[in-house]
C-alpha cells in the first residue's frame, strides 16, 4: 500500500508523533500512560496493537505493562482489566498476522 492508500493510518501516525513531541514524559512513561488510557476506555485490540508496537520500539518491558494493569484495576474495575488483557492478546495475534504478510 502506498501512503495515498492509507490516509487514516497516516493521520493516526501523525497524531501519535505529535503527541510524543508535545509531551514532556519520557517515552516509557508516555507509552504506559497511553496503555492506561486504552484500558480506561475499553479500547479495541487494534488500538493496543498500534501502541504495543511503540512499546516494543522503546523497550518497554511487558512487566511494566502488567504493572499498569494492576495500578488501574481499582479505578477502572475488573471487567475493564480483563477486557484489556484479552484485547492485548488479540493485538499480539494481529501483529503475528501482519508480520506474516510482510
| Mean pLDDT computed over every residue of the chain | 90
Does the pLDDT of residue 100 top 70, yes or no?
A: no
Model pTM? 0.84
Residue pair 91/49 in contact by the 8 Å Cβ criterion: yes
Instruction: Say how far apart CA 85 and CA 66 lie, in whole Å.
Output: 9
pLDDT at 99 over 60: yes
Q: How confident is the model at residue 102 (pLDDT cuts 50, 70, 90)?
A: very low
pLDDT at position 98: 72
Q: Give the confidence band of 94 by pLDDT, cuts at 50, 70, 90.
A: confident
48-4-52 Cα angle (round to 5)? 15
pLDDT tens digits for range 42-87:
999 999 998 998 899 999 999 999 999 999 999 999 999 999 999 9
Amino acid at each position: 500500500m502506498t501512503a495515498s492508500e492509507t490516509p487514516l493510518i497516516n493521520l493516526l501516525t501523525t497524531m501519535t508523533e505529535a503527541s510524543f513531541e508535545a509531551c514532556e514524559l519520557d517515552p516509557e512513561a508516555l507509552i504506559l500512560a497511553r496503555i492506561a488510557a486504552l484500558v480506561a476506555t475499553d479500547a479495541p485490540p487494534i488500538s493496543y496493537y498500534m501502541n504495543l508496537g511503540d512499546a516494543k520500539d522503546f523497550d518497554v518491558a511487558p512487566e511494566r505493562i502488567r504493572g499498569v494493569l494492576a495500578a488501574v484495576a481499582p479505578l477502572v474495575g475488573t471487567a475493564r482489566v480483563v477486557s484489556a488483557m484479552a484485547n492485548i492478546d488479540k493485538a499480539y495475534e494481529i501483529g503475528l498476522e501482519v508480520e506474516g504478510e510482510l
